Structure 1
Amino acid sequence: MEVRKVVDLRQDHAGAPRVFGEPYETADGSTVITVARVHRGFRFGKPSGRETRRDGDLTASPVGVFVIHGGRVWWQPAVDSTRIALLGEFIGLASAVIATLAVLRRPPWPDLRR
C-alpha cells in the first residue's frame, strides 16, 4: 500500500466510528499511525430534582496501527487475546454442560435394575 492510499483511506473514513491518532516517527525512521474504534452509549439515571439525568459514554478500543517505512505501508492489527481466551473458555463450558445433560438424560452404562 502506498502512502497516498493511506491518506485517502484516512479521509474516506472520517465519518466512521474510528479514531486515527497523530502520526509519530520512531527511532528507525518509521511513521506510526494508531487506529481505534469508538463505542458510544447512553445511560438514563434516576431523576435528580426535576430532570432525568442522561449520560453519554464514549470508549475507544485499539484496532491496530499503520506503519510507514521506506515508502511502504502496512497494517498491524491489535489482537485482543483476552477476548479470544474468554471465547475458548465459553466454548469449553458450553460443551461440558451439553455433555453433562446428555449423560444425565441417558447414561452410557447399561440399566441393571431389570
Structure 2
Amino acid sequence: MLVFGEPYQASDDITIVTVSRKGWDQRPERPIGIYTIRADGTTWTPAVDASRHALIGVCTGFAAAVIGSLAVLRRPPWPELTERVMAGARRR
C-alpha cells in the first residue's frame, strides 16, 4: 500500500509530495520516490537504493571470480609439462 506524505511547498511554484510503501508485519515504510508539482507539469523521481546496487555488483564479481578460479583449477591455461608429454615432444 502506498503512503503519500504531506505536501511540502519548496518555493513559490514547486510543491513536493513524498511517496513510500507501507511494510508488512511491522516492517518500516520504504521510500519509493517523490512527485514534484510545478505550474508546467508534474514529474516523478524514484528513490534509488544505492546499497542494493552495490550488493548486486559485489555478488556478480564474486561469482565471476569463483567461476574463473574453478575453470583454471580444472584445466590450467599454461601448457602441460608432465614427463610423458615432454618425452613425446623430444621424439618429434
Whichever residue aligns with residue 81 of structure 2, its letter is L
Moved segments of 4+, more than 3 Å: none
Larger relative contact order (CA 8 Å, sep ≥ 6): 1
Equivalent residues in 2 for 1:27-106, closer than 5 Å: 27-41=11-25, 57-106=26-75
Distance 1:28 1:81 in 2: 32
Structure-2-length-normalised TM-score: 0.81
Q: Judging by fraction of residues, say which structure has more helix.
A: 2
Q: What is the CA-CA distance between 1:28 and the residue it aligns to? A: 3.8
Q: Which residue of 2 aligns with 1:26?
A: 10
Residue 71 of structure 1 and its aligned partner are, at CA, apart by 4.4
Q: Give structure 1 stretches of 5+ with no counterpart.
A: 1-16, 42-56
Letter in 2 for 1:110: P
Q: CA deviation at 1:58?
A: 2.3
CA RMSD of aligned residues (A): 1.3
Output the CA distance in 1 between the equivalents of 2:52 and 2:15: 29
Greater fraction of residues in strand: 1
**What are the Cα deviations for residues 39-78 of structure 1, in whole angstroms up to 9, with x where unaligned?**
213xxxxxxxxxxxxxxx2211111000101141110111
**Counterpart residue number, 1:109:** 78
Equivalence for 1:45: none
Separation of aligned partners in 2, 1:28 and 1:86: 40
| Cα separation, 2, equivalents of 1:110 and 1:84 | 40
Distance in 1 (alpha carbons) for counterparts of 2:71 and 2:11: 59
Q: Alpha-carbon deviation of 1:82?
A: 1.1
